[in-house]
Amino acid sequence: MSQPLEQFCQAHEAWLHEVIDALVSIESPTDDKAAVDRCGTEFRARASAAGLRVRIEPRPDAGDHTVAEIGEGGPRILLVGHVDTVWPHGQIARMPLERRDGKLWGPGTLDMKVGVSMGLLATRAVFETLRPGAGRVAMLVTSDEETGSDTSRALIEAEALASDAVLVLEPALAGGPLKTSRKGIGQYHLAVTGVAAHAGVDPRKGVSAIRELARQILALEALHDLDRGVSVNVGVVGGGTRPNVVAEEAHAVVDVRAPSLDAAARVDAAFRALRPILPGARLAITGGFERPPMERSAGVAALYAHAQAAAASLGQTVQEGGTGGGSDGNFTAALGVPTLDGLGAVGDGAHALHEHVELRPLIPRTALLAALIARLLSPEGVLPARPR
């Protein structure tokens, strides 16, 4: 079964690069709806030409999202990706799309237009080579992943709940391992209000918001526990107006990562339990966890086992690992839907000037994705039962 898939991917390598070049050449910063929509339109044209049924999910204040599906009945496998990038317009002039030194360079290559292109070729390979009598593959391509998936989360969750498994086309870990766990991501805003006073004439009449914030930051340090996978990073602080004025206002923005739902709940409870330390100070806490953790559940482990078997059928091996970064796979895994992440390209430099994809693994990784899809659509692709 796997050899024809691999041969198909090899035979259509030029087509894959054509799709990659078309998507990467259309700059698509998340905050520019028109730009992201242009890239989405290009993807939809490619998907439609490949025989997928395309559905547009319009959004008035963000780029439109796309669901492209092929097949009938049977199991449904959802491939998840995005075409928005962190890069502003004009970045491609600074980081030109080019192939050199065995790498494909350019903004949005690794994160993650190459992965989206791989998903399209893998889907073609399965349905044009094996022609499964039953089974469906849906590609969900969104426009706002880089800013938290605010307008796509409900769609992601609905499509995941209508599927038997989710394969996320985000880049692999360094060297190629798949991602079987991701930390949950939270952001909290601490706003402190004190009492202004003259720092020299009437300091006793003041309550320094900055002093209060400093004490709160020290309290937050107790939550920072990297040995248990919990990180608490006070990344932004500010406050006060002048050196000779007791600060009436201060604030901090805190990034939090947690490896499990239980750990995230404990961290959140600790933030909610913060109380002012200085008499007369007031504290307001907003925010919370925006992406739940992707835990290595039985469903995730079963999907990884299928990926190992698919790799073996191609003469490949595959490893697994976890990461502190988040993806839309966090949402789908938290619903109990078996989710496997990192099935996209191998490379380095996501969000960095040296962003690139390794060219040598490109076709083998696409063949692996195709073989995994085919396995999940076959009687071998049994996954643990989950609540419906």
Please write the tens of the pLDDT for every residue from 258-284. Answer: 999 999 999 999 999 999 999 999 999
Residue 386: pLDDT above 90? Answer: no
How high is the pLDDT of residue 130? 93
Average pLDDT score, the chain? 97
How high is the pLDDT of residue 388? 60
Note the pLDDT tens digit of each residue in 354-370. 999 999 999 999 999 99
A 10 A CB-CB count for 216 gives: 22
Residue 387: pLDDT above 80? Answer: no
Note the pLDDT tens digit of each residue in 232-250. 999 999 999 999 999 999 9
Note the pLDDT tens digit of each residue in 144-186. 999 999 999 999 999 999 999 999 999 999 999 999 999 999 9
Residue 1: pLDDT above 70? Answer: no
Note the pLDDT tens digit of each residue in 288-346. 999 999 999 999 999 999 999 999 999 999 999 999 999 999 999 999 999 999 999 99
26-37 average pLDDT score: 98
- As given in the structure block, the two tokens for residue 76 are 């449904």
Residue 19: pLDDT above 70? Answer: yes
- As given in the structure block, the two tokens for residue 245 are 């004025």
Compute the radius of gyration of the chain from its Cα atoms: 24
How high is the pLDDT of residue 384? 86
Three-class secondary structure assignment of 181-246: EECEEEEEEEEEECECEECCCCHHHCECHHHHHHHHHHHHHCCCEHHHCEEEEEEEEEECCCCCEE
Residue 133: pLDDT above 90? Answer: no
**Which residues touch 206 (CB under 8 Å, ≥6 apart)?**
194, 195, 196, 197, 198, 199, 246
Q: Please list the residues that pair with 231 across neighbouring strands.
A: 257
Give me the domains of the chain, ranges plus CATH numbers. Answer: 2-182+293-377 (3.40.630.10), 184-291 (3.30.70.360)
Q: Is 133 helix (H, G, I), strand (E, B) or coil?
A: coil
Residue 2: pLDDT above 90? Answer: no
Note the pLDDT tens digit of each residue in 209-231. 999 999 999 999 999 999 999 99
40-63 average pLDDT score: 97
Residue 140: pLDDT above 80? Answer: yes
Q: Cα(369)–Cα(365) distance, rounded to whole angstroms?
A: 6
- Residue 115, exposed/middle/buried by CB under 10 A (0-12, 13-18, 19+)? buried
84-88 average pLDDT score: 98
Q: What is the DSSP letter of 152?
A: T
